[in-house]
Structure 1
Amino acid sequence: MSGSGGAERRRRCPAAPAVRPASARPRLRRPRLTGPPDVGSGASMMKGSPSRLLRLRRFRRDQGGATAIEFAFVAAPFFFMMFALIELGVLFVMDVTLETAVSQTGRLVRTGQAHERAMSVSQFRQEVCARMGVFESQCTDRLLVDVRVIPRFTGQTPPDPVDENGELSESGLLFAIGGPRDIILISAWYPQPLFTPLVSQGAERVAGQRVLNVTTAFRNEPFGS
């Protein structure tokens, strides 16, 4: 009896469900958020916001093109200084060249060679321009000269070729080479256009031009005696 009753109870009790091992259980994946959600925006805005933030961060960290941007800020003053130095250098070279040319041409008057050739003002100008080197091409059209006899070396004022209108004029200029032992005063003016701003304002004298001026005085030799 007891044996059959125990078997009957075992048949009536339901079997306990089988427990799966932990490795066989399905895992639920949590959604990953790469950035804070945009409050008040739709799903598409929430999805695009992290990419915009990422691009902004990359832009702030990117150092490419920094040299070009920095040069853009200093390009204008750099080129201004460069052209100003070049133009001032040309003016100094022209001034020295003109002084040498006038001194060498004046020797023709001092030694009597200009008297023997009956030199005119245009010929004297050509002699000066022939000694101007690389500046000879426009020298004949620009150069003004004045040659005159003065009574003494001291207390003499060279003529001024600038008229009342602020223009260069030859109306008051002379060309007199004198004779033996005369004191001669030679003046030459060469207008040079200026192009660099501020330099032209500080150095110009006649209509945007810098007038280079050279003056020399000497006593003629006793030629012909």
Structure 2
Amino acid sequence: MTVQASERSEAAARPGQGRWHVLRRFKRNQNGATIIEFAMVAGPFLMLMMATFETALMFWTNQVLDEALTRTSRRLLTGEALARYANPATQAADFKRDLCANAPALINCDRLWIDVRAYTSFSDARTKTAASSPVSGGNLNVGGFGYSQPQAEQIVVARAVMEYPVLLTGWSGSLANIGSNKRAIVASTTFRAEPFNTPAAPAT
């Protein structure tokens, strides 16, 4: 008689003992332990990887938008904007077009808004800019955005706001700030315009 046959005979002879014998064998068996351990950590690991990737991509997009705004705003700094954005009806659209040309990747111009304001002092610029935040109460607030043509030596505040989709970390809500799975990416620059010459108004 083999050992296994002997164990079965002993289990049959002692009703109720076979169940505990199987449990003891299961406790000692290490087969499949690696797969079970991997399954326990795979979910949190993948979630962490997705959060890291999306956060990095979001910061990269913000950097691209900030750089594009800075480059485009040089026209405001030097006075070139007076001639380039001379038509009041298309000033905002023309400035936005130039900004998008300076940021061909990552920027969705269909979900982009710009605001250019000119002030007489830095304190005035700080107060009025703070009062018109593009993110208010968890919503995107760009209703007051527009374009005001800066003149020589004025304080200029240029802002660009893009609605950015949060796809991989929507389950956490930590990156969204304007509703479900959306974040407002904001770039801004403030400077004093150079003392450029304002072109004379055309004769009537």
Q: Normalising to structure 1: TM-score of the pair?
A: 0.68
The structural deviation recorded for 1:151 is 1.7
The structural deviation recorded for 1:66 is 2.9
Pairwise CA RMSD of aligned residues? 2.8
| Aligned equivalents of 2:95, 2:31: Cα separation in 1 | 63
The structural deviation recorded for 1:176 is 0.6
1:125 aligned partner: 96
Query: What's the secondary structure of 1:154's corresponding residue?
Result: helix
Tell whether the 8 Å contact from 1:177 to 1:184 is kept in structure 2 after alignment: no
| Aligned equivalents of 2:14, 2:58: Cα separation in 1 | 71
Amino acid at match of 2:163: P
| Aligned equivalents of 1:171, 1:132: Cα separation in 2 | 24
Say whether residues 1:191 and 2:163 are aligned partners: yes
- 1:73 is matched with which residue: 40, 49, 62? 40
Question: Cα deviations across residues 96-122 of structure 1 (Å, max 9, x unaligned)?
Answer: 111111111110111122211225111
Query: What's the secondary structure of 1:222's corresponding residue?
Result: coil
| Aligned equivalents of 2:161, 2:68: Cα separation in 1 | 12
The structural deviation recorded for 1:197 is 4.2
Percent identical among aligned pairs is: 30
1:28 aligned partner: none
Tell whether the 8 Å contact from 1:194 to 1:210 is kept in structure 2 after alignment: yes
2:74 aligned partner: 107
| Aligned equivalents of 1:79, 1:178: Cα separation in 2 | 49
Amino acid at match of 2:193: N
Tell whether the 8 Å contact from 1:187 to 1:216 is kept in structure 2 after alignment: yes
Amino acid at match of 1:174: G
Name the count of aligned residue pairs: 179
2:145 aligned partner: 173
Instruction: Go from structure 1 to structure 2 and tell me whether the alpha carbon gap of 1:61 and 1:177 turns closer, same or farther (over 3 Å shift).
Output: same
Q: Normalising to structure 2: TM-score of the pair?
A: 0.74
Say whether residues 1:39 and 2:39 are aligned partners: no
2:194 aligned partner: 221
Say whether residues 1:149 and 2:118 are aligned partners: yes
Query: What's the secondary structure of 2:189's corresponding residue?
Result: strand
Amino acid at match of 2:63: V
| Aligned equivalents of 1:99, 1:111: Cα separation in 2 | 19
- 1:94 is matched with which residue: 61, 64, 67? 61
Amino acid at match of 1:102: L
Query: What's the secondary structure of 1:135's corresponding residue?
Result: coil
